[in-house]
Amino acid sequence: MRTTASILHLDLDAFFAAVEQRDKPSLRGKPVIVGGVGLRGVVSTASYEARVFGVGSAMPMHEARGRCPNAAFLSGRFDAYRQASAVVMGLLRELSPLIEPLSLDEAFVDLAAGPARALDDEWLLQLAAQLRVRLTEATGGLTASVGLGSSKFMAKVASELAKPNGVRLVTPGTEADTIAVLPARAIPGVGPATMERLTKLGVVTIADLRELSAAELVRELGKASGEHLHELASARDDRAVEPERETKSISMEDTFEHDVADAEVLAGVAERHAAKVVSRLVKAGMFARTVTLKVRWPDFSSVSRSRTLNGATDRVEVVAQVAKALLDGLDVSQGVRLLGVGVSGLVEVAQEPLFDLEVAAPGRVVEEAEAPVSRRPLTWLPGADVVHAEFGPGWVWGSGLGRVTVRFETAATGPGPVRTFAADDPELASAVPPEGPVEPMAPAAG
């Protein structure tokens, strides 16, 4: 264990929703929910204004609409999210060459690998405060919660305690006392299935977990998981901050001769693809952290949904279960032209014992939509950037019955007017993605 709180964990606050509020002035201070907008979609991110109503990540979208009917429900703009993420990761790289991105909105930084100096608590807190100010300026108003600790686990706990928009440093030597009162679910990898087993042992808090012996946890959860949880419950964590690896992936996809709208048939295809992907994964001697499902619709538009696990796996049943869960979140009644399954975030060491087969719970679903190959999408997605020949740039407020409603505003204009057009109005088009290189990043995680 380190003697300084030299590991920093940064988590952008309600990232996707915050980017939408930044770029859409009329939504600032109002509930915003980003995710799959179909009947079976799920929430990716909810703004803090929406969280007041009990809306959270991974919640079915229909439930979110019931809890917060007056929210703005948006499909997401991943070009904008990637660009904001690239700016933030660039700021972190100025602090240290050792950064470990976990998703678009989250990363660890090893400050001890940066410029040599005394890493006392006062200096670390000052650095974190300066980082947050620079981040807000560089991103046009986004905020972040920052945690500082002697390990990755403690830095992550500290950032959770700092939310929203704060800084927390856990002084070395106080780690065990700091986490004692936290729920056992605060430990990474303790999902619903694991928590159910722990509850039978009388565990509610981390302090309760600490009272159990390593042998008891191993007996209940298995050797690797039991021993690891026993260490973390006592705030012992010696994992290093590992820089981002070169992006690698393995995938399998199939274009159907006729569109397929049968969910069970598609689930079977996803399972077969998962088996082929894992076979190639095993031959390569690798393990995967992220599972991705790709679907192409009859109009040639596409959607990709990803989930990053709490570890790495080479098990067919794990990849298949995640792929089918991702598919289950889509409304396939319109038919599917192409279905693909892929894995990425490849590593050489398995890290999966923490989650068993409870893989549907950890991690946030990241959903990315691609418009049809045409100048104007056949379906106007809520929140999408558009441009009108007369009124200029705006975004889709809503659509249906052959019409599309647009609010004309940008981050710099302030709240703008709303206009409704025919869905096939030739003067209305999907906006060109923002120019400029986008640094490749790991997909969003849980």
Q: What average pLDDT does the segment 304-328 reach? A: 90
Three-class SS state of 95 = coil
pLDDT, position 86: 94
* 119 vs 121: CA distance, rounded Å: 7
The tokens of 166 are what? 């704060």
* 5 vs 154: CA distance, rounded Å: 9
Q: Name 139's Cβ contacts closer than 8 Å, sequence gap at least 6.
A: 22, 84, 87, 88
pLDDT, position 245: 53
* 226 vs 187: CA distance, rounded Å: 12
* 406 vs 392: CA distance, rounded Å: 11
Helix (H) or strand (E) holding 197: helix 192-200
Q: What average pLDDT does the segment 224-252 reach? A: 84
Which one from 100, 106, 271, 368 is the annotated catalytic residue?
106
Amino acid of residue 230: H
* 155 vs 112: CA distance, rounded Å: 14
pLDDT at residue 440 tops 50:
no
Q: What average pLDDT does the segment 293-314 reach? A: 86
The tokens of 376 are what? 């104007």
pLDDT at residue 127 tops 80:
yes
100 in catalytic set: no
Amino acid of residue 176: A
* 201 vs 264: CA distance, rounded Å: 38
Q: Is 86 in contact with 439 (CB distance < 8 Å)?
A: yes
CA atoms within 13 A on the CB side of 293: 27
Please give the residue that has the higher pLDDT: either 246 or 384: 384
pLDDT tens-digit readout, 193-218? 788 889 999 999 999 999 999 999 99
Q: What average pLDDT does the segment 171-189 reach? A: 92
pLDDT at residue 373 tops 60:
no
pLDDT at residue 371 tops 70:
no
CA 285 to chain centroid, in Å, comes to 27
* 170 vs 152: CA distance, rounded Å: 12
Three-state secondary structure readout of 248-278: CEEEEEEEEEEEECCHHHHHHHHHHHHHHHH
Query: Which pLDDT band holds residue 370 (cuts at 50, 70, 90)?
Result: low
Q: For residue 71, which of 86, 96, 53, 88 has the smallest C-alpha distance?
A: 53
pLDDT tens-digit readout, 75-106? 889 889 999 999 999 999 999 999 999 888 99
pLDDT at residue 223 tops 80:
yes
* 72 vs 400: CA distance, rounded Å: 16
pLDDT at residue 437 tops 80:
no
Please give the residue that has the higher pLDDT: either 332 or 432: 332
pLDDT at residue 246 tops 60:
no
* 23 vs 20: CA distance, rounded Å: 5
* 76 vs 366: CA distance, rounded Å: 10
* 367 vs 124: CA distance, rounded Å: 35
pLDDT, position 8: 97
Q: Name 265's Cβ contacts closer than 8 Å, sequence gap at least 6.
A: none
Q: Is 285 in contact with 335 (CB distance < 8 Å)?
A: no
Please give the residue that has the higher pLDDT: either 144 or 219: 144
Q: Is 241 in contact with 114 (CB distance < 8 Å)?
A: no
pLDDT averaged over every residue in the chain: 87
Q: Name 118's Cβ contacts closer than 8 Å, sequence gap at least 6.
A: none
* 412 vs 429: CA distance, rounded Å: 21
* 326 vs 150: CA distance, rounded Å: 36
pLDDT tens-digit readout, 400-424? 899 999 999 999 998 999 999 999 9
The tokens of 79 are what? 């070009």
